[in-house]
Amino acid sequence: QQLKFVVDCTQPADDNIIEPKDFEKFLVNRIKVEGKTGNLGEKVSVSREKNKITVNAEAPFSKRYLKYLGKKYLKSQQLRDFLRIVAPSKTSYELRYFNINDDKDEEE
């Protein structure tokens, strides 16, 4: 059974905060297959189309693992304070900014 997950980096990439190709490379280097990194082989493929990174994997692969790796990447780029990784749908994640401006009314 093939699983397909999409990580959408459009918002931060448009502002030149992250490079999707760096994130793609990070995923390729860090995804573990059978407990080993750099062992993607036929089981997992990572591809990128502009600002969307697609991970195709065979069945035992959790979406949560992608979130974990996404957080690790943001941490390594020191962006965890500005960006978060959210799931808009069952098979995708999206990098979004924290909503800092929501509480303007409360201050007045």
Tokens of 89: 């749908």
pLDDT, tens only, 18-44: 888 898 999 899 999 888 888 888 889
**pLDDT tops 60 at residue 64:** yes
Across residues 82-93, what is the average pLDDT?
90
Question: Are the C-beta atoms of 27 and 55 separated by less than 8 Å?
Answer: yes
Q: Measure the CA angle with vertex 79, ends 77 and 82; round to 5°.
A: 170
Tokens of 56: 């195709």
Q: How far is CA 5 from CA 57, 66, 77, 83, in A?
A: 8, 9, 22, 19
State the CB neighbour count (10 A cutoff) for residue 51: 18
Tokens of 61: 């692969």
pTM, full prediction: 0.82
